[in-house]
Structure 1
Amino acid sequence: MEVKTLEKKGKSVDEAIKAALDELGCEIDDVMIEVIEEPTKGLLGFVGKKPAVVRVTMREKPEEEARQIVEDILNRIKIDYKINRVEYENGRIRINIIGKDMGLLIGRKGETLNSLQFIVGLIMNRKRDEKVRIILDVEDYRKKREQSLEALALRLSDKVKKTRKNVVMRPMSSQERRIVHTALQGDPQVTTYSMGDEPNRKVVISLKK
């Protein structure tokens, strides 16, 4: 996305900034401001009088920046794709990609998709004060996976309640483990914790003591 930048003049710095904001149609929190020249009154208030000059640049919205990064990467590897959904909420950006041969983009057990997600996150957050979490999805692969894991977590929690024995799930990524923890965190009868070392770290579901 092309970043919009304006230079504006005014009797004061505030007046110049207001003129720029009015033209851009945005609020002051949406822009970066650089004062090029302070106003001067000049000799006797008239001769050599100069206005204030400011340069105002719109901040790129996080979701638009993330979309651009993903597009740049996918265009380089020349894959047939389309970004059909970008959602931004509570510091989390979810991007869903559709197209041909999406299995190549997902990779074995989602490994290729995870690597791409990691790279996009690094690029996005390298110069940001407030970090954002990137979730890349391909034809809702992750969303379907989340729903499957949530259903599995509920079934296993029922098993723990009936047998009163711990259940150790198979090794999962940190993102998958987070889904299980979140799915069961409101259950008053069971608790979850992780054990083991990466990449073989597992979630344990047990009765609360």
Structure 2
Amino acid sequence: MDYSEKWGVDVEEAVRLALIDLKLSRDEVEVTVLEQPSKGFFGIGSKLAKVRVEKKKEEKKEEAAKTDVVFDKEKGAEGPEAVENDEAVKEKKVETERHQNRDGRKDDRKSRKNRNRNERKVHDGKQNERNLNIDVVDKEKLEEVEEHEALTFLKDVTEKMGLHLNFKARVGEDMVYIEMDGKDSGTIIGKRGQTLDSIQYLTSLVINKDSENYIKVVIDAENYRAKRQKTLEQLAERLAAKVIRTGKYVRLEPMNPYERKIIHATLQQNPEIITRSEGEEPYRRVIIELKK
């Protein structure tokens, strides 16, 4: 593969991921920025950077063909100057090869170092994701309440965002579960649930700021999380079948840790498939491939 197109939080991150994919150094490629990144509010309107990284075309080596050769006119053969020029060309060629070998060894060491670091990140991230169970909220065990700190915070934030929503809160000993619905449900969910995840994260920070024991916060809208889980499970099974059929690995779109857990958990019992993760948050993604 001579090129790779990657997304990233910024251009530098996208280029780094593409270089890993191509197994090339920065000096060996040409970079074209396809889309510039931009930030949004709580994920609304945000855009990733997209780049196309292409291997440089090797220039034809024509030094030997262009080398001037001086002939002795009387002898009709190469004279002393020709021999001298030939020796200079040989010395230059040897010196060039020496530099290339040295640079090549440096690139190899750098490449191995980066590859080992990324493999450690993949292994650590994969282990962390697999050690976590898929969260299932049992609403029957939670008590419905009219007032709560999380409700107050959510109503204030969504009001400032200009959204009109209804709220229902349930609490347990170490958990707060809030359901939302209304005409602006789609907006609060956002693309692939990004806005919903951001709101949930901020609410968790507020609730646990002065709390002695950690309180888990789960925020849902129009039963989105259950629907998303089912969709991801079906996607995982469908892509696994494709990998088995074609023998080629599949790289999924960037997902949050919870969604990656769903993919791993769905396919962990498949005897022909192995899953792993690559990249850094928040653009870490799952790779589905055949077991070797």
Q: TM-score range by the shorter chain?
A: 0.5 to 0.7
Counterpart pick for 2:230 among 131, 142, 147: 147
Distance 2:144 2:268 in 1: 33
Alpha-carbon offset, residue 139 of structure 1: 0.4
**For 2:148, what is the secondary structure of its paired residue?**
helix
Spell out, residue by residue over 1:99-135, the C-alpha distance to the aligned partner (whole angstroms, 9 max, x if none): 2321232234423211110011112333445534322
Q: Measured at CA, do residues 88 and 203 of structure 1 come closer, stay the same or move farther in structure 2, by a change above 3 Å?
A: farther
> What is the correspondence of 1:60-99 to structure 2 with a 5 Å cutoff?
68-76=148-156, 77-78=158-159, 79-84=163-168, 86=170, 93-99=176-182
Letter of the 1:146 partner, please give it: Q
**For 1:135, what is the secondary structure of its paired residue?**
strand
Q: Equivalent residue for 1:111?
A: 194
Letter of the 1:118 partner, please give it: Y
Q: Equivalent residue for 1:100?
A: 183
Letter of the 2:258 partner, please give it: Q
Structure richer in helix, relative to its length:
2
Say if 2:165 and 2:181, in contact at 8 Å, map to a contact too: yes
Say if 1:189 and 1:207, in contact at 8 Å, map to a contact too: yes
The structure number with the bigger radius of gyration is: 2
Q: Equivalent residue for 2:83?
A: none
Counterpart pick for 1:173 among 248, 256, 264: 256
Distance 2:172 2:238 in 1: 31
Distance 1:125 1:94 in 2: 14
Q: Measured at CA, do residues 199 and 121 of structure 1 come closer, stay the same or move farther in structure 2, by a change above 3 Å?
A: same
Distance 2:285 2:182 in 1: 33
Say if 1:195 and 1:203, in contact at 8 Å, map to a contact too: yes
Task: Say if 2:266 is the partner of 1:186.
Answer: no
Spell out, residue by residue over 1:188-207, the C-alpha distance to the aligned partner (whole angstroms, 9 max, x if none): 32221110123332100122
Q: Equivalent residue for 1:38?
A: none
Counterpart pick for 2:240 among 150, 157, 172: 157
Aligned length: 148
CA RMSD across the alignment: 3.2
Letter of the 1:83 partner, please give it: F
- Quote the sequence identity (%): 38
Say if 2:164 and 2:183, in contact at 8 Å, map to a contact too: yes
Between 1:190-199 and 1:150-159, the stretch displaced more is 190-199
Q: Measured at CA, do residues 92 and 143 of structure 1 come closer, stay the same or move farther in structure 2, by a change above 3 Å?
A: farther
Q: Equivalent residue for 1:136?
A: 219
Structure richer in strand, relative to its length:
1
Stretches of structure 2 lacking an aligned partner (at least 5 in a row) = 1-140
**For 1:113, what is the secondary structure of its paired residue?**
helix
Moved over 6 A (4+): 61-65
Say if 1:149 and 1:180, in contact at 8 Å, map to a contact too: yes
Between 1:195-204 and 1:125-134, the stretch displaced more is 125-134
Letter of the 1:165 partner, please give it: K
**For 1:200, what is the secondary structure of its paired residue?**
coil
Say if 1:153 and 1:183, in contact at 8 Å, map to a contact too: yes
Counterpart pick for 1:126 among 209, 216, 220: 209
Q: Equivalent residue for 2:290?
A: 207
Say if 2:144 and 2:169, in contact at 8 Å, map to a contact too: no
